[in-house]
Amino acid sequence: MIEHGALPSHLSIAGEILEARFEEVIAAYEERLLDIGSPLITEAKTREQVMAQACSVLEEVTAILHGREVPSDVQQSGAHLSDNIGVSRASSNVHAFHSLRAVVAFSEAALSVLVNNLPPSSTLGNEIAVVAIVIQKSFTERVMRAAFAYANYLLQKTHESYTDERRRISRELHDRVAHSIMVAFRSLELCEVYEAKDPSKAQARFNLAKCSTQEALELTRSLSRELRSTPAEDGLEAALSDLLSISVPEDIWSWVSVEGDESLLAPQVRDELFLILREGIRNAVTHAEASTITVKVEIFDDRVKAVVEDNGRGFAPDKEAPQSEGGAGLASMEERASLLGGTVTLMSDLGKGTRVELVLPSLPRNQS
């Protein structure tokens, strides 16, 4: 590690050059990002963050080359920027790899300007190497901080996702299973009341109790299956078929198709794909008033495409999409897809049904 006091005094010339040509370095950096097609400057917000970070790094590097303490406001702004950048990259679905490429681009820009303007000397190579190390150290600390923020954001979203899932299952237990059991209990009480004076009513209540008990049993089994840590461990097609048989009423025709090699999918992609499609199926059952619901999954070498489509009532393009119970709906699907680098597209026409299209990178499992 290079400390401030360990830098040769003549490196202040390099600091003076970088200070004098500050704007030139920043412009060269931006040009390199454009050349490599970096997604970091395609949007105004991310571009502003990237350029502000570059300016902060350059201020820190020039201070070190002059042998000065880095100003506290530069340190604080750099730390704040790094935290914001990490969260922004994660929420915008920009992989951390692009930040590393940006570090290389900045180093190339700064060193290129420096090489073109440093006076010739026998120690020129050493000077350039030291400046490169100073730049690397400054950027590495910021990238590490941003990486922690990036990872923490994703972990938080994953935790929220599982928390939402637990809440949903809790609602299912309370609203559906407990309700069915209560209906069965009250029916048996009435059966006792009617048993002596009206056997036909007693029999009807007894039959209702049996149906309600059976319904509670099926719901409990369904929730038990959903609580497994890997909901699609037996394969997507089997899991989706099972889901349709449980979730879709008998008067709605449903169909599922899975094409391609499921072994190409990493387990986390397969499981998240199932959960996203499950949300789409539930929305269709709850809101579409459809007579047909179809699910189609196509697995390619580099991506997965899936569609949930119904022939229900749909909604106008300028209206907000219906949400499933608990307020999840499309937002939940989009968030899960985004965490894996995917997208969800909703298409609907009033009276003509709804189509939800999902695309995820396949993230192939490692081959042994």
pTM above 0.85, yes or no: no
**Is the model's pLDDT at 90 over the cut of 90?**
no
Q: Which residue has the tokens 């820190």?
A: 60
What is residue 267's three-state secondary structure? helix
What band does 11 get if pLDDT is binned at 50, 70 and 90? Answer: confident
**Is the model's pLDDT at 329 over the cut of 90?**
no
∠ CA(157), CA(159), CA(161), 5° rounding?
70
What band does 100 get if pLDDT is binned at 50, 70 and 90? Answer: confident
∠ CA(219), CA(171), CA(162), 5° rounding?
100
Position 98, amino acid: H
CATH architecture of the domain with range 4-158 = Orthogonal Bundle (1.10)
What are residue 3's phi and psi, to 5 degrees? -90, 160
Provide the pLDDT for residue 367: 44
Q: Which of 10-19, 86-95, 256-265 has the largest mean confidence?
A: 256-265
Provide the pLDDT for residue 9: 52
Q: What is the pLDDT of residues 72-89, one digit of tens each?
A: 877 777 777 777 777 776
Check whether domain 232-368 has CATH 3.40.50.1980, yes or no? no
The answer to whether 278 touches 244, Cβ cutoff 8 Å, is no
Residues 259-279 have a mean pLDDT of 86
The DSSP 8-state label assigned to residue 284 in this structure reads I
Give ranges for CATH 3.30.565.10 in the chain: 232-368
Residue 355, H or E segment: strand 353-361
The maximal CA–CA distance of the chain, rounded, in angstroms, is 113
The answer to whether 276 touches 336, Cβ cutoff 8 Å, is yes
Give the mean pLDDT of the chain. 81
Q: Which residue has the tokens 């750099």?
A: 78
What is residue 359's three-state secondary structure? strand
Provide the pLDDT for residue 322: 55
Contacts of residues 166-171 at CB distance under 8 Å and 24 or more positions apart, as own/partner, are 167/326, 168/326, 168/328, 169/223, 169/226, 169/227, 171/325, 171/326
Provide the pLDDT for residue 181: 92
What is residue 264's three-state secondary structure? helix
Give ranges for CATH 1.10.490 in the chain: 4-158
**Is the model's pLDDT at 164 over the cut of 80?**
no
